[in-house]
């Protein structure tokens, strides 16, 4: 008769010991990240570096002519896609450089075009070289839509964040 250990001869005590060890391991691996403290919402990671700064909404003061530049850059996108909607844009400006641009709110080709247009903005010399995070909306508006001529509809579109409107230019 062999004295070797067999899995078939495990006792209920050993079974409960293995089950509790497996449960403890699973809880340790899954619950740890869940209890981690949430990060700040106003952090931007650029090239593996986290930048913390207050979010600013005065992008038109820091970047003169932003409406004209975005209208020119996004005209072809508007002509091609023909979708009205809003894109929320956030970017980091350090000195005169624009980095870490994010755009969310519409389909991918529009978001990509908005990110490229914001990256290509020429804002000119800045007063401060410190990192600044800006957030604003780009709104694609159909100039022929009747509800936008109505003042009540226009006030309903207003939000806390500044909005740059891009409309199809009349040919």
Give backbone dihedrals phi and psi of 44, rounded to 5 degrees, phi first: -125, 135
Q: Which run of H or of E encompasses 101?
A: strand 97-104
Q: To which residue do tokens 């996108």 refer?
A: 77
pLDDT value of residue 110:
93
The mean predicted confidence, pLDDT, of the chain is 75
Rounded to two decimals, what is the model's pTM? 0.59
pLDDT in tens, 3-55: 666 666 667 777 777 778 777 767 776 666 555 554 445 566 655 666 778 78
Give backbone dihedrals phi and psi of 47, rounded to 5 degrees, phi first: 55, 45
Which tokens in the block code for residue 40? 């700040």
Is the pLDDT score of 157 beyond 90? no
Which tokens in the block code for residue 162? 């500044």
Q: Report the C-alpha gap between 109 and 105 in whole angstroms.
A: 11
Q: Report the C-alpha gap between 129 and 96 in whole angstroms.
A: 8
Give the start-to-end residue ranges of the domains of the chain.
57-167
> Bigger pLDDT: 34 or 170?
34
pLDDT value of residue 44:
63
């Amino acid at each position: 008769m062999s004295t070797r250990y067999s899995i078939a001869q495990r006792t209920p005590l050993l079974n409960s010991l293995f089950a509790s060890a497996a449960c403890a391991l699973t809880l340790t691996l899954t619950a740890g990240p869940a209890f981690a403290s949430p990060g700040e919402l106003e952090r931007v990671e650029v090239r593996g570096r986290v930048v913390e700064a207050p979010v600013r909404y005065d992008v038109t003061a820091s970047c003169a002519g932003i409406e004209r530049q975005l209208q020119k850059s996004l005209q072809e996108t508007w002509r091609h896609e023909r979708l009205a909607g809003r894109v929320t844009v956030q970017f980091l400006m350090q000195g005169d450089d624009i980095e870490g641009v994010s755009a969310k709110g519409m389909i991918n080709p529009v978001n990509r075009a908005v990110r490229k247009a914001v990256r290509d903005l020429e804002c000119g010399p800045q007063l401060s070289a410190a990192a600044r995070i800006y957030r604003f909306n780009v709104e694609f508006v159909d100039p022929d839509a009747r509800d936008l001529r109505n003042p009540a509809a226009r006030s309903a579109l207003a939000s806390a964040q500044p909005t740059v409107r891009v409309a199809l230019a009349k040919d």
